[in-house]
A and B are shown apart, each in its own frame.
Chain A
Amino acid sequence: MAAITLRVNGEAHTVDVEPSTPLLYVLRNDLDLSGPRFGCGLGQCGACTVLIKGEAVRSCIRPVSQVAGQEITTLEGLAQNGKLHPLQQAWIDEQVPQCGFCQNGQILTAKALLDKTPNPTDAQIRAGMNGTLCRCMTYYRINAAIKRAASTMKGAL
C-alpha cells in the first residue's frame, strides 16, 4: 500500500492503495466517481475512459501510480460552471443513448477527437471512435451528435 495523490476534476485526493491498482477502481470505489465504468478491464471497449492531458485514457489498465499528480477529468468533470459541455448537450439533443452504459467512453473519446480534429468528417469520426464499443449500436446517432457538437463549438469560438 502507498499513499498516492490524484488530481481529479480539479480537486486533489490522497488514497492509500497498492500502486498497481488500476485507476478505474480508485475512481469508482474510493472517489465515488461512477462516470467511468467497468466494461472489460482489458483496454478493449472504452467504457472506463477518462481524460488525462487531453488524451482519452483507458483507466482499467492504467496503474494508479502512473497518473499520480496528473490532471484527470472524468465525465462528472466535463461540465463547466454548471453548463454541460457541448458534446453532452449534443448527446441530449440527438437523444443518443439506448442503455447508455458505454456513453461515458463515447463522450470522452469524442472530446479527445474534437480537440485534435475540430471538424471531423464521417470517415474521421468512424476511424477516431472505432475502438469505443456500443452494444446497443448507437453509432449512427453518436456520429450525428459529434458533428452537432463540432458545429456548436465552432460557433462559440
Chain B
Amino acid sequence: MNTRRNFIKNTGILVVGIAATGGGLPELFAQVATGPYPDPDFLQLDSWIVIRADNTATFFVGKTDLGQGTGTAFRQIMSDELDIAYDKTSCVMGSTHNTVDQGGSGGSDALQTDGYPMRRVAAEARRVLLEMGATHFGVPVSALAVSDGVISVVGSTAGSRIPDPGPRQVTYGDLIGGRRFNVTLTGKNTDTTTGIAKLKPVQEMKNVGKSPQRYDIPGKVDGSLKWAVDMTAPGMVHARNVRPPVAGATLVSIDEASVKGIPGFIKVVSKGNYVAVVCEREENAIRAARQLKVEWKKPATAPFPASDKLFDYMRAATPSSTGKPIETGNVDAAFASAATVVEAEYDVPFQGHTAIGPAHAMADPSNGQMTIYTNDMKSYGMRNGVAQFLGMPRDQVRVIWMDGPQGYGRTAADDAGFEAAYIAKEIGRPVRVQWSRQEETAWDTKGPAYAFKMRGGLDAHGNVVALHYDACAADHNHLGYNEHETVLISQLMGTRKNLISQGRASLPSDMYVIPNRRSTTRVVPLPMPFETPLRTGNLRDPDGPQVQFALESFIDELAHKAKADPVEFRLRLLQASTQDDSGFKRARSIACIKAAAEKFGWDSRPSPKSAVASAKAEDILTGRGIACAYRSQTVVATICEVEVNKKTGRIWAKRIVVAHDCGLVINPEALIRVVEAGTLYGLSRALHEEVKFDTEKVTSVDWMTSPALRHEDTPERIDVVIVNGDPNPNRPDLQHYGAGETMCKPMLAAVANAVFDATGLRHRRIPIRSAGIEMP
C-alpha cells in the first residue's frame, strides 16, 4: 500500500499503530486492515477517544472536513472538554471502520449538531479520568484539579491547602495510556450520545475562541499530504468512463477491437448504458476512452429544453409536486387595498458543482473485502450504498475518507467511488477511476434552476402590507445521499428507484414582519428524469442562493418604490415585531445589518445613486447593495460595493463587508477565511456560473465554456465582522452554529442590488450578464 499509514497488529479493538501524517501529527488506526469492518460502537467511549501513555489524545469523529477547518475546531472543543493541551491532540475523521457514523458532512451541522456529542464524550472522558485520579491518590474528586492532562491534588483531606509537588500529580497518560476506558455511554444515536459529565460553561473553555492554525494546511502547501487522488495499491489499474454522447442515448454496440492495440489495454467494462475502459497506465486509459468506438441510439424525444428556453419551459410545465401554500393575514384584501403593487420575475439557472478536481476514487478488492479511498463527504452513506450496489455484506465494505477537491455537495452523491468499486469487483484488481474535466462539468450534479414570481403591496406610507412569493424549481428526482439506486452508474445500468424524490422549492430565509403573506411553491420535472446530466443534487446551501436572490432583490425593489434607504427599509421590516424564535434570529438579523452598515460606512439614501450619475460621462459607475439571510440559526448581512464599467459591462465587486453571527465562534481566524471564500463563491454564482445545454447535451463542459470567478474578480477589500447579537451574549451555554454555507446566500442579491444602485438597471436573471449592463 503506497501510503504512510501503518497498521500495527494489536489485540485491542482500537489501540493501534502510530505514524506521522503530512501535518506531522500522530494518527491512530484500528487494527482492522484485512477486514471485515464492523461498525465502531458509538456507545463505547473508546470509539471516540484514545489516550496514549505519552499523554497525547486522538479524537475519532464521524465527520469529514471539506477544507473549512472543522477538524481543527473539533480538536479545540474536545481538548477543552477533556482538559488537555490542544497541541497534544489529533483527530481522525470520516473513515467507516474506525470512526462512528456521524453522517459525514452536510448541512453545515458539524459544530451545530455533532459538536455536542463530541464535547460530551470528551467531558465524560475527563470525568472518568478524574475518578481514576481520585482512586490513584485516595482522595475525593473534589480534591483534584486538572490542567493540560495533568491531574493534581489541590486540597488535602487533612485540611492542608498546599499541593504536594512530587507524587501528587499524575497525567492522563499515566492513568490510562494505551488502555481502554470500557465506559458505556447512553443515547439513541450519535447525535444524542452522552456520558454523565456536564459540559463546561463557555467561559471556562481555553481553546475555544482562539485561532490555532489549521493542522491540515502545512501538508497542503509542502506537497506532503496524501489525498484521495494519490492513493495507489500494488497491481492497481486505471479506468476511464465513456459517457453517452447525448443524454438518454442507449448503447447499441461496442467495438472492442478499436482499442485492442493500445499498450496495457485490459478490458472494456460495460453494463446497460454504463461503459468504462481499463488500462494498466493512466494515459493509455485516457486514450482508450477517446478511441473506443461505441454505437449509441439517440432517445426518441428530447431529454430537456435548451437552456435558453428553460425558464419559459418551467413556467409552463405541469408540476410534479406542489408545496402546501402558506398564508398569513388576508393577502387578497391587502393587495386590493394597497396603494402600490409591485411585481417582478427572477430566474436562476442550473449551476454546477464543478470542483477543481473531477470525481475520482480508488477501490481495492483485496482479501475479499472492498476498500474505497475517496473524498466522499458522506463516507458512511457511500459504504451502505456500495454494499447494496455490489450485493456485499456491509461489514465487508470500508470507505476511507481523505482530502479532496471540494465541490460543496458534489460528493454527497459520489459517482466515482461506486464506479471504482464496481470495476474492481469485475476485474479483481485495485482500480482508480478518474473523471475527465468535460465529464465532470457536464455530468456532475447540479443545483436546481428556479423561476420566481414576486408580488408586493405597499401602503401610502411605503410600508409593506402584502407579499406573495411564488417559486418553481426544476428539482424533480433530486439525488439521494449515495443511494445505490440513484448514483449515475446505477441509473445508466437501468436501475429505476420506485419512489423517486419529489425534490422541493424552498422558502426564503428572512425574519421580516409582513402582515399579509403568501408563499406558493412547486417542482417541475424535465422530460427525462434519469440518466441525465441535469441530475439535481445538493449544491452549497442547497437552494438558498437562488431563493434569497429573488427575495432580497425584490425587497430592494420595494424599497426603491417606497423611496426608502435599503438598510432602513429592512430594519423597519425586522423591527415591526419583537416576537422572536428561540434562536433570537430577529434580534441577531438586526444586529448583523447594523454591524455591516457601520463597518461599510453606509450612506443613507434610496437607490439608485442618482439618475444623473448614470447619465454622466464617466466610464465607471459605483454603487452599493445589501442583502441578508439566515441558515438554520446562523445570520448574515452582506454589503457589496461594485464598479460597473459602462463601456465593457464588467462588474467588479470592489469591496465587501459581511457581518456574521454563528453564535459561539470556535476559531475566529479560520471562520473569517471560510466566510471570505464562501462570499466569493456566492459572487462567482452571481456573475459567472450557468449550466448551458442544447436539447440533448450539456454544452458548458470546461473552464472556457463554463466560466467561474477568477483572480481578476478579487475584491480590493473584504471585511468580515463577527457579530454576537444574542440578547445575552455571555450566556454560559452560548451555542455554536454552522458556518459553512450561510454566507453564500445573500451574495447574489447584494451584487444585483449594488448594480442597480450604480446603474439604475435591475438584473433579475443570474448570472448577471455583462452584456445586460450596457447603458442605454
Contacts and interface: CB of A to CB of B under 8 A. Distances in A.
Interface in B269-295: 281-284, 286
Given A100-B67, A136-B406, A139-B709, A79 B703 contact: no
Interface in B197-227: 213-214, 216-218, 220-227
A101 B405 contact: yes
Nearest to B353: A135
Contacts of A119: none
A125 to B, nearest CB: 7
Interface stretch (B52-60, B336-344, B671-679): B671-679
Given A18-B263, A104-B223, A38 B434 contact: yes
Contact of A40 (B213, B680, B702): B702
Nearest to B440: A40
Interface in A52-110: 74-76, 78-79, 84, 88, 91-92, 95-104, 107
Given A38-B229, A135-B708, A140 B680 contact: yes
A32 interface: yes
B710 A130 contact: yes
Interface string A95-139: 111111111100100000000000000100111011111111111
B681 interface: yes
B153 to A, nearest CB: 40
B229 A139 contact: no
A142 interface: yes
A46 B359 CA distance: 17
B718 interface: yes
Contacts of A34: 223, 226-227, 229-230
Contacts of A25: 281-283
A147 interface: no
**Number of contact residues on A: which range applies?**
35 or more
B68 interface: yes
A99 B354 contact: no
Contacts of B711: 125-127, 129-130, 132, 139, 142-143
Contacts of A95: 213-214, 217, 669-670, 673
Given A91-B221, A92-B221, A104-B223, A137 B263 contact: no
A119 to B, nearest CB: 18
Given A29-B282, A137-B680, A140-B715, A37 B357 contact: yes
A45 interface: yes
Nearest to A90: B221
Interface string B424-442: 0000000000101100000
Residue of B217, B676, B704, B708 contacting most chain A CB atoms (<10 Å)? B217
Nearest to A30: B281
Contacts of A76: 222-224
23 contacts: A18-B283, A25-B283, A37-B227, A38-B357, A42-B437, A42-B702, A75-B223, A84-B222, A95-B217, A95-B669, A95-B673, A98-B677, A101-B356, A101-B357, A133-B356, A133-B708, A135-B354, A137-B677, A139-B709, A139-B710, A140-B714, A141-B673, A141-B676
Interface of B: 2, 66-68, 213-214, 216-218, 220-227, 229-230, 232, 263, 281-284, 286, 354-358, 403-407, 434, 436-437, 669-670, 673-674, 676-678, 680-681, 683-684, 702-704, 708-716, 718
Given A76-B223, A79-B222, A136-B356, 12 more contacts: A17-B283, A34-B230, A44-B702, A45-B703, A76-B222, A84-B222, A92-B213, A95-B669, A100-B225, A101-B404, A130-B710, A130-B712
Pick the 7 closest A-B CB pairs, nearest first. Answer: A99-B67, A100-B220, A137-B680, A35-B223, A101-B405, A75-B223, A99-B406
